[in-house]
Amino acid sequence: MNERSLIRILHLVLSIPIIGFIYGPVAHIPPAASFTRFVAVPLVAISGLWLWQKPRLVRWAPNARNRPRPRFRPAVR
pTM: 0.72
Please list, residue by residue across 43-73, b when 16 or more beta carbons sit within 10 angstroms of its beta carbon and e when fewer do. ebeebeeeeeeeeeeeeeeeeeeeeeeeeee
- Per-residue pLDDT reduced to its tens digit, 1-57: 899 999 999 999 999 999 999 999 988 999 999 999 999 999 999 999 999 998 888
Residue 24 pLDDT: 92
- The span from the CA of 77 to the CA of 63, in Å, is 36
Q: Is residue 74 scored above 80 in pLDDT?
A: no
- The span from the CA of 71 to the CA of 62, in Å, is 19
The closest alpha carbon to 48, from 36, 40, 37, belongs to: 40
CB 21 within 8 A of CB 27: yes
